[in-house]
């Protein structure tokens, strides 16, 4: 039996509904995952620092909302990119904006993907993005 | 110096020059007049002088005739010449100026004349008259005749008289010549002065007008250039004019105006930008809670639809409908805010292909025919805005069409410097009261519940056309269909 590969996800999102939404979407996908939630950039950095100190697992993926209190997504991303030990973490931005300018900006900040809310199954663009995200990681759980 | 003062000064200088010229000419005229008066006098003097001389000769010959013949006839001519000469001498005395050289000559003449009469003529005449009375008196006369005539004293006096007279007239001639020379010189001088003054005035006038024209026109042109620059959309211009006259005031006012204009425009641009940003941010922020509601509704439907009473399911549908409308309104605001944000890019457009693309993107219900003018030209223009305008107008015409069988026609007119596009339908038509209203944002003429429309389409059309300074016209009446026509730059 192959080793079961659990995808470790850190969701940085302040809106409870969006957290629920993400969870629902992930639940319906054919994957095993473990998800932590941070309410804003600061909490996310705290979590990363703590898990590093405890020699815990660093997440494979960060799902990042942009519009958050205290430290928003862009600021968090800038801080994250300064630390070399976190450079392998794939970051996917979840946003309501599907404007080209915003996509280009995110591309510049070194994000791996761009997922448009709402994360519904009847929203093809978001589900495609999720699938793409999983494929990109190439760590889809082997059972 | 003020321009009005400069003009005034210039004219004043020229006026002074001409006044001097006129004054000099006037003085010259006076001189000429005076001279001709004098000349008239001089002519009288000469004429009277000549007559005097002739009278003397008459007197001499009359006297001689009488002395020889004793006839009174000769005395008559002598007497008349004598009386006339007395008159002439009196007249000459009044005419000839007291102080002159001639006065003395005249006095001498009168003296000699008197001497000739008293010493010579009178005694002889008296003796001749008495000669017939007695022999002694005849002898006395003969003696006197010999003494006066033959011995020649008379001749001496007469010659003196002639001599003096010649001197008198010679003097008069010389005086005439001298005066005429002076007059000729004076006229020539006046001419020269007048000529120089006039020439100088003309040159001065020319220079002043040249200076003024140059000064006014160069600065006016600078201001015209500035106004043109402003009109072309560059408001940050200033014109340098360091003078202190009316034009400098105008330049200052223009500078001030440009400054105020530029500030206002900047303010307006900032406000516009803020408004666009505002629309952008607001619509994004509004999307979040709407999405939340939508999520929850979806979860209820997906997970609990079997547990729900029919009434709740119906209500949920109502909520979903309103959510959709809110979302499409937000999308509308975003679209509206985005109009004009793209930088204009011109490309070659095949209008038939463009309209075909639009037709394919629209849902056209059966019975409605979309007729596109065949053989439309290729144009070089901005594609996306034109497509948006046409798509919205055609889309509206189709969407609001109320006939089972109807048409929507699209055609083009080429008006030399621009195109005019027409979108014509035989749909319900629009009452005149609403013609201006329909271009306002979120304005619909149908009840919101009854029709799926946000009222953003025509507002976007208007904004696209306004941004490009193009016009849209609506010709429509209820029951007679509508024609939307808009201009588009070539």
What number is the average pLDDT over the span B82-105?
A: 82
Predicted pLDDT at B144: 80
- Residues from chain A that touch B298, judged by Cβ atoms under 8 A, are 120, 122
What number is the average pLDDT over the span B64-72?
A: 84
Contact yes or no for A96 and B299 at CB 8 A = no
> How near does any CA of chain A get to the CA of B323, in Å?
14
Least confident span in A40-54, A119-133, B34-48, B119-133: A119-133
Higher pLDDT, B231 or B354: B354
Contact yes or no for A118 and B291 at CB 8 A = yes
Above 90 in pLDDT, residue B488? yes
Q: What is the pLDDT of residues B467-481, one digit of tens each?
A: 889 999 999 888 889
Considering CB atoms only, which of B284, B287, B296 is closest to A17?
Answer: B296
- Residues from chain A that touch B295, judged by Cβ atoms under 8 A, are 17-18, 20-21, 118, 120
Percent of chain B with pLDDT over 70: 97
Residue in A closest to B293 by C-alpha: A17
Q: What is the pLDDT of residues B140-159, one digit of tens each?
A: 888 887 777 777 777 777 78
* CB contacts < 8 A (A, B): 26
Predicted pLDDT at A1: 41
> How near does any CA of chain A get to the CA of B412, in Å?
34
pTM: 0.52
Q: What is the pLDDT of residues A6-29, one digit of tens each?
A: 888 899 988 888 888 888 888 877
Query: Model ipTM?
Result: 0.71
Question: B residues 275-294 near A, CB within 8 Å?
Answer: 284, 287-288, 291-292, 294
Q: What's the order of all strands across the beta sheet hosting B406-415?
A: B368-372, B406-415, B418-425, B482-489, B472-476
Above 60 in pLDDT, residue A3? no
Higher pLDDT, B397 or B291: B397
The pLDDT mean for chain A works out to 77
Question: B residues 292-321 near A, CB within 8 Å?
Answer: 292, 294-296, 298-299
Q: What is the pLDDT of residues B236-272, one digit of tens each?
A: 777 777 777 888 888 888 888 888 888 998 898 898 8
Q: What is the pLDDT of residues B22-31, one digit of tens each?
A: 898 898 889 8
> How near does any CA of chain B get to the CA of A17, in Å?
6
- Residues from chain B that touch A21, judged by Cβ atoms under 8 A, are 295
Considering CB atoms only, which of B292, B294, B298 is closest to A15?
Answer: B292
Predicted pLDDT at B422: 95
> How near does any CA of chain A get to the CA of B272, in Å?
20
Question: A residues 21-80 near B, CB within 8 Å?
Answer: 21, 24, 67
Predicted pLDDT at A98: 66
Predicted pLDDT at B139: 81
Above 80 in pLDDT, residue A138? no
Q: What is the pLDDT of residues B396-420, one digit of tens each?
A: 899 888 888 899 999 999 888 899 9
What's the CA gap between B102 and B330, in Å, rounded? 125
Considering CB atoms only, which of B284, B287, B292 is closest to A17?
Answer: B292
Predicted pLDDT at B284: 75
- Residues from chain A that touch B284, judged by Cβ atoms under 8 A, are 67, 96-97
Provide the sign of the torsion angle of the four alpha carbons B461, B462, B463, B465, taken in this order. Answer: positive
Least confident span in B201-210, B281-290, B390-399: B281-290
- Residues from chain A that touch B287, judged by Cβ atoms under 8 A, are 96
What number is the average pLDDT over the span A83-97?
A: 80
Above 60 in pLDDT, residue B450? no
Please report which confidence band the pLDDT of residue A137 belongs to, taking 50, 70 and 90 as the band edges: low
Please report which confidence band the pLDDT of residue A124 belongs to, taking 50, 70 and 90 as the band edges: low
> How near does any CA of chain B get to the CA of A118, in Å?
7
- Residues from chain B that touch A96, judged by Cβ atoms under 8 A, are 284, 287-288, 291
Predicted pLDDT at A143: 44
The pLDDT mean for chain B works out to 85
> How near does any CA of chain A get to the CA of B413, in Å?
36
If one counts every other C-beta atom within 10 angstroms of the C-beta of residue B220, the result is: 13
**Substitution target from B298, B302, B331 for chain A, most A beta carbons within 10 A:** B298
Percent of chain B with pLDDT over 90: 13
Predicted pLDDT at B474: 92
């Amino acid at each position: 039996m192959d080793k079961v590969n659990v995808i470790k996800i850190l969701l940085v999102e302040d809106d409870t509904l969006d957290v629920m939404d993400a969870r629902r979407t992930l639940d319906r996908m054919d994957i095993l995952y473990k998800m932590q939630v941070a309410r804003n950039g600061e909490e996310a950095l705290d979590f990363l620092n703590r898990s590093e100190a405890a020699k815990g697992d660093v997440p494979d993926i960060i799902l990042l909302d942009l519009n958050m209190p205290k430290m928003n997504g862009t600021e968090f991303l800038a801080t994250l990119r300064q630390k070399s030990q976190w450079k392998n973490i794939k970051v996917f931005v979840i946003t309501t904006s599907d404007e080209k300018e915003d996509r280009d900006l995110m591309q510049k900040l070194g994000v791996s993907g761009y997922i448009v809310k709402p994360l519904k199954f009847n929203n093809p663009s978001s589900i495609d993005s999720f699938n793409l995200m999983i494929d990109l990681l190439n760590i889809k759980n082997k059972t | 110096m003020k321009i009005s003062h400069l003009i005034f000064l210039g004219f004043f200088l020229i006026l002074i020059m001409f006044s001097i010229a006129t004054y000099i000419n006037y003085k010259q005229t006076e001189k000429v007049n005076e001279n001709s008066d004098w000349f008239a006098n001089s002519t009288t003097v000469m004429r009277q002088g000549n007559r005097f001389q002739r009278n003397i000769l008459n007197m001499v010959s009359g006297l001689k005739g009488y002395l020889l013949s004793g006839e009174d006839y000769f005395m008559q001519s002598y007497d008349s010449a004598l009386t006339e000469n007395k008159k002439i001498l009196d007249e000459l005395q009044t005419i000839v100026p007291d102080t002159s050289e001639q006065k003395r000559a005249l006095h001498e003449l009168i003296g000699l004349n008197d001497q000739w009469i008293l010493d010579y003529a009178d005694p002889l005449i008296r003796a001749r008259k008495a000669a017939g009375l007695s022999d002694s008196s005849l002898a006395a006369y003969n003696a006197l005749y010999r003494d006066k005539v033959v011995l020649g004293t008379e001749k001496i006096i007469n010659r003196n008289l002639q001599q003096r007279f010649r001197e008198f007239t010679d003097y008069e001639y010389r005086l005439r010549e001298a005066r005429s020379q002076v007059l000729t010189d004076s006229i020539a001088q006046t001419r020269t002065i007048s000529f120089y003054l006039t020439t100088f005035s003309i040159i001065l006038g020319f220079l002043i007008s040249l200076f003024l024209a140059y000064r006014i026109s160069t600065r006016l042109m600078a201001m015209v250039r500035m106004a043109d620059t402003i009109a072309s959309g560059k408001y940050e211009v200033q014109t340098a004019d360091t003078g202190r006259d009316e034009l400098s005031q105008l330049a200052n006012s223009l500078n001030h105006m440009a400054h105020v204009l530029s500030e206002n425009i900047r303010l307006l641009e900032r406000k516009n930008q803020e408004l666009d940003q505002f629309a952008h941010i607001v619509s994004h922020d509004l999307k979040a809670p709407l999405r939340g509601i939508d999520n929850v509704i979806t979860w209820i439907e997906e997970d609990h639809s079997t547990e729900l009473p029919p009434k709740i399911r119906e209500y949920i549908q109502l909520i979903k409908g309103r959510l959709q409308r809110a979302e499409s309104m937000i999308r509308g605001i975003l679209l509206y805010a985005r109009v004009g944000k793209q930088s204009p890019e011109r490309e070659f457009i095949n209008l038939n292909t463009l309209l075909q693309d639009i037709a394919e993107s629209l849902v056209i219900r059966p019975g409605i025919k979309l007729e596109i003018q065949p053989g439309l030209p290729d144009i070089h223009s901005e594609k996306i805005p034109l497509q948006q305008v046409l798509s919205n107008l055609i889309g509206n015409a189709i969407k609001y069409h109320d006939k089972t069988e109807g048409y929507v026609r699209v055609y083009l007119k080429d008006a030399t410097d621009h195109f005019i596009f027409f979108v014509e339908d035989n749909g319900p038509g629009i009452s005149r009261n609403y013609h201006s209203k329909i271009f306002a944002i979120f304005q619909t003429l149908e009840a919101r519940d009854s029709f799926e429309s946000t009222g953003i389409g025509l507002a976007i059309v208007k904004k696209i056309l306004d941004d490009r300074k193009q016009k849209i016209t609506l010709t429509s009446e209820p029951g007679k269909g509508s024609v939307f026509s808009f201009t588009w730059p070539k």
